[in-house]
Copies of this chain bind each other. A is one copy, B any other.
Amino acid sequence: MSKIKIVQIGMGPLGLKIAEFIAQRPGLKTVAAVDTGPEIIGKSLRSFSSSLNADIIITGDLDKALETRPDVAVLATVSDIKRITGQIKSIVREGIPVVSTCEELSFPFDTAPGLAAEIDAAARENGVAVVGTGVNPGFLMDALPAFMTSVCQHVERIKVKRYQDASSRRIPFQDKIGAGLSPEGFEAARKKGTLRHVGLTESVHFIAGRLGWKLERTEDIISPVFATADISLPSRTIKKGDAAGVRQVGRGFMNGQARVELVFQAAVGEPESYDEIEVIGTPGFVSRIGGGVNGDTATCAITVNAINSVIHALPGLRTMADIPMTSYSEYR
């Protein structure tokens, strides 16, 4: 069995971890690596990890990388669909399908319909599929809850919660959620947009789209989680009343009712980490993953697990619910 050849675009922390995961899979092989960073162009993948191929030198030239004739491109660059559309079109023009970690690509049909149509048309013209994936958006708060409604005769509402205790997470993650900011500092950061988990509104539309709900509006509200006592961490001290983290709530409304409600909350000192899906329907149920799912590992893994599915998907801009069902496979 010949290996699936992959070109990777974007060799930041996520791209490098994906490269390591690909290197562990017997059926997959990274054949080229692209980045725009002058400080890493010209370096071999081996210089980042001993498990990676010394012969693959990061290039700044996408066209040259595509000359390796890969079976699929893995795009781990930006969250912003506007900034990625051109790249996707260059890749699909060569008849190469795309799996991307771009959050806004996961379900852009309502949030960026023009770009979605452009990508879809380019993909169809060239007979390949494009999909945006990741653990969230892409799975825990959209594809998985949608699939779980398979057992329902009726669904009235869906609520999904992803709660994370950030106490033991990396310092950049604690920074990202605003841990330690004063109320004013938090508000300033919120306005700048740096606290936002990208993709929550896309997940709301993903679920609504699958269930056939025509939403009249969505909302995506970010607020601080305040520390209720002083918290001492190795990296910082958070004073009572300052921000311990962030709470983001996405809702989709139909006839004035929030049919979809997604809550993403990450804070230092959060009592429990978990992922929870509540389906209010017939039958109704609550499905809960205590401890939650590790986001970094899971996003890289699902991207790798989606590679074979996107190769066999129908041409066009696809979602995690309309490519062949992903799963881990020992041989890919």
Chain A positions near chain B (C-beta within 8 angstroms): 21, 24, 135, 139-140, 143-144, 146-155, 210-213, 281-283, 285-294, 297-298, 300-302, 304-306, 321-322, 324-332
Q: How many copies does the complex hold?
A: 2
Chain B residues contacting A283 (CB-CB under 8 Å) are: 293-294, 297-298, 301
The 9 closest A-B pairs by CB, nearest first: A151-B298, A149-B328, A212-B330, A153-B301, A150-B326, A212-B331, A283-B294, A212-B329, A152-B328
A66 to B: closest C-beta gap in Å:
27
Are A211 and B329 interface neighbours, CB within 8 A? yes
Are A148 and B154 interface neighbours, CB within 8 A? no
Q: How far is the CA of A285 from the CA of B273 in the complex (A)?
A: 12
Chain B residues contacting A322 (CB-CB under 8 Å) are: 324-325
Q: How far is the CA of A290 from the CA of B293 in the complex (A)?
A: 19
A50 to B: closest C-beta gap in Å:
18
Instruction: Please give me the residue from chain B that is nearest to A213 by CB atom.
Output: B330
Max chain B Cβ within 10 angstroms of own Cβ: one of A140, A291, A330: A330
Of B151, B212, B298, B328, the residue contacting A293 (CB under 8 A) is B151
A322 to B: closest C-beta gap in Å:
6
Chain B residues contacting A321 (CB-CB under 8 Å) are: 325, 327
Instruction: Please give me the residue from chain B that is nearest to A155 by CB atom.
Output: B328
A255 to B: closest C-beta gap in Å:
12
Q: How far is the CA of A151 from the CA of B289 in the complex (A)?
A: 13
Are B289 and A285 interface neighbours, CB within 8 A? yes
Q: How far is the CA of A229 from the CA of B158 in the complex (A)?
A: 41
Are B285 and A328 interface neighbours, CB within 8 A? no
Are B297 and A328 interface neighbours, CB within 8 A? no
Q: How far is the CA of A21 from the CA of B298 in the complex (A)?
A: 37
Chain B residues contacting A306 (CB-CB under 8 Å) are: 150
Are A328 and B290 interface neighbours, CB within 8 A? no
Given A144-B148, A153-B301, A300-B153, A285 and B281 contact (CB-CB distance below 8 Å): no
